[in-house]
Amino acid sequence: MDFAAYRRHDATSLAAEVAAGRVSAETLLALALARLAEVQPTLNPVCRLMEAEARAQLVRGLAAGPLAGVPLLIKDASQDYAGLPTACGSRALASLPPAREHAHVVRRLLDAGLVVFGKTNTPELALKGVTDPQAFGRSANPWDPARTPGGSSGGAAAAVASGVVPMAAGNDGGGSIRIPAACCGLVGLKPSRERISVGPAQGEVWFGASSEGVISRSVRDTALALDILAGPEPGDPVALPRPATPFVDQMRAPLRRLRIAWCADSPLGEPVDDEARLAVERTVALLRELGHDVEPARPDIDGRALAHSYLHIYFGQVPATVARAVAQGAREDGFEPLTRLVATLGRATSAEALARELQRWNDYARALGALHARYDLYLTPTLASPPVLHGTGDPPALQLAALGALRATGLLGLLKRAGLLDGVVMQMATDSLRHVPFTQLANLTGTPAISLPLHWTGDGLPLGVQFVAAPGEDGLLLQLAAEVEAARPWFDRLPPRFS
């Protein structure tokens, strides 16, 4: 097999080629490594190469799983690989001792026979919708290297879109699978909360807002990956059982006529690019052609309040992460300035304020549940604009400099505790989500959501659309995705420079 043939396969069909003896796992690994060497200087998708680990895996012998022999990249956040550090885009975390055991996700991927040969790039602590860590450098979008591949699973999306691998592992705490998928013309599913175990190092990530998953080029790969990864592990705080019917089979089942609500307005009240609106409008037309009932509707949710609640995940988690790292021997000044700023704001946030914002998740879930009582799915843009140019991931430079100066004097925490920064904090929430305001709802409510590559702009940039389902309805999302994929195929639509 040469690279042109490799590029024509998804993970499912590559595994079939290996099983039939038409290609070896060694050949597939060599093709993936060669492609990575070709694209790494421009796209920087991988922050840690694991060629030695992959070759050792081949020597030991692959597990006889459903994707045996297929090369895979895991994300350098939450997806611990025993014997290696999990840096999460951070110079400080990279200095800590290596993981003692595989994350359950990584173990299940290895048990499926996948050959893990690297970790993909992510912003520090996976905090952004762009991938630009100071520790490892920014990743670029194969469709236009001057633009972001999204984040936080941006390295994963860049690797898949450029042909290094047909599928890569990621995770999604606020859109971190769906945003890169939308930026790079790929399929990105955030499964239902607790569908996939995030242990054993953690019980829940980001108070349960984050889910593990994959970014892929085909719906069937995403369904098969969910079959591989789904199911509880001993000690999980919540046990969501495997479905009686595998997701691959659910995906193939005939789809009933659905009731689908749609909205293209930003929940923040901010502008939405005409291309994002067009993406939804064309999807609405397609859904009606397929026989579904589609009408405008939206959940009764204050989007700015939700953004404020979402920012409090950071205020709760970032100080704890920094403190834990420092206790293990890392230096706090090893974290990026923005991370240290968020940590300071978080330390100045009261337990009462954090609890209040967490309690509001129930309000958002009830409102979305009321919508799902009337509609099977909810359709929005995945992004409010096409993939943005590099340099848009941080707050405005002047604001960041002013807050950094206040932090250095010790006044920042005092002002935050006194409530004198409430407007600044709200503006930070709005600024950070302006281009990606649609994805956080599914994280705070625990519902499954998928981004599908159904639109390309006039400039040839991908711009995905998002479907949100009721809790536990991952299979319904996959059914609809498969139907749409058959009607408007995207698999052969590749970045011209990296085809």
Query: Is-contact 407 424, C-beta < 8 A?
Result: no
Phi and psi torsions of 207, nearest 5°: 60, 25
- Using CA atoms, how far residue 185 sits from 100, 111, 173, 283, 492, in Å, is 36, 28, 20, 15, 11
From 78, 90, 139, 152, active-site residue: 152
Query: Is-contact 337 400, C-beta < 8 A?
Result: yes
Residues sharing a CB contact under 8 Å with residue 302, sequence separation 6 or more, in sequence order = none
Widest pairwise Cα distance in the chain: 68
| Half-sphere CA count of 291, side-chain side, radius 13 A | 7
In sequence order, the β-bridge partners of residue 261 are 295, 378
Dist. CA 336–CA 369, nearest whole Å: 38
From 139, 153, 162, 176, active-site residue: 176
* Rg of the chain on CA atoms, in Å: 21
In the residue annotation, 211 being an active-site residue is answered as no
Dist. CA 383–CA 454, nearest whole Å: 13
In the residue annotation, 162 being an active-site residue is answered as no
From 75, 119, 128, 190, active-site residue: 75
In the residue annotation, 176 being an active-site residue is answered as yes
Dist. CA 465–CA 178, nearest whole Å: 9
Phi and psi torsions of 452, nearest 5°: -120, 140
Opening angle at CA 164, ends 162 and 165, nearest 5: 110
- Using CA atoms, how far residue 366 sits from 356, 373, 445, in Å, is 16, 10, 9
* SS3 per residue for 49-97: ECHHHHHHHHHHCCCCCCCCCCEEEEECCCCCCCCCCCCCCCHHHHCCC
Phi and psi torsions of 489, nearest 5°: -60, 145
List residues with catalytic annotation: 75, 152, 176
